[in-house]
Amino acid sequence: MMLKRIALVTGGIGGIGTAVCMELVNQGRLVIAGHIPEEEEVAELWQSELQADGYAVELAAGDVADYDSAGKMIERITTRFGTIQILVNCAGITRDAFLAKMDPDDWNAVINTNLNSVFNVTRQVIPGMMAAGFGRIVNISSVNGQKGQFGQTNYSAAKAGMHGFTMALAQEGARKGVTVNSVSPGYVETRMTAAVNKDILNAIIKTIPMGRLATTREIAQVVGFLCLDETSYVTGANLPVNGGLYMS
């Protein structure tokens, strides 16, 4: 019988985060969805809706862009449940603009939320994983971290940095039973893409060889694969899930 390992999914109440939480529950994990404190009411509604569908997911509030706030969140989790053994860094935002017109606040917001958060959370869970001799860390990067994207220097830089972090930490964790990998989704059916102008969205879809967006479940299943106990010899890898949009 698979152990009830403790999994934290940052940005867990978002589109991809929700699907990842559900996938990990299906694996038999004790799953905790991280969210910013300002979204407490939204998170509680999200939790009740998942519960009605048969998915029991705990909640943890914290600002992962802030080291101390992330640390307090992790401390509360470990005090209540024990050592975090699976971490999915899924928190992310966009603040798109041409670099010539990008406000420094928009640069910093994206770097802090999408990249610095990976350090802020992972730094505070990796010692427990190494001491336990088991850990699974999956960082949600992006196709745009691989190929770049017009108007997204901040986002592309952050997502590319996530995989650099992944490869370096994978080497540190390899002999301790801790695997570190990244997943790079292409365009996915989420609230964010639903808000895009239909003509623009259709133009994007035409560039995807599969001719459609990914579902959040398709992303989550790849993340789930990397979180399995049995996936113990895959580390430092980046798995693209982009429908053939970018091949390397």
Please state, in angstroms and rounded to a whole number, the distance separating the CA atoms of residues 20 and 226.
11
216-227 helix and 15-26 helix, angle to the nearest 10 degrees: 50
Q: Is the dihedral of CA 166, 65, 129, 138 positive or negative?
A: negative
Q: What is the DSSP letter of 213?
A: P
Please state, in angstroms and rounded to a whole number, the distance separating the CA atoms of residues 71 and 166.
20
Decide if 155 is catalytic.
Answer: yes
Instruction: Tell me which of 55, 67, 155, 187 is the catalytic residue.
Output: 155
Please state, in angstroms and rounded to a whole number, the distance separating the CA atoms of residues 54 and 18.
13
Q: Catalytic positions, please?
A: 155
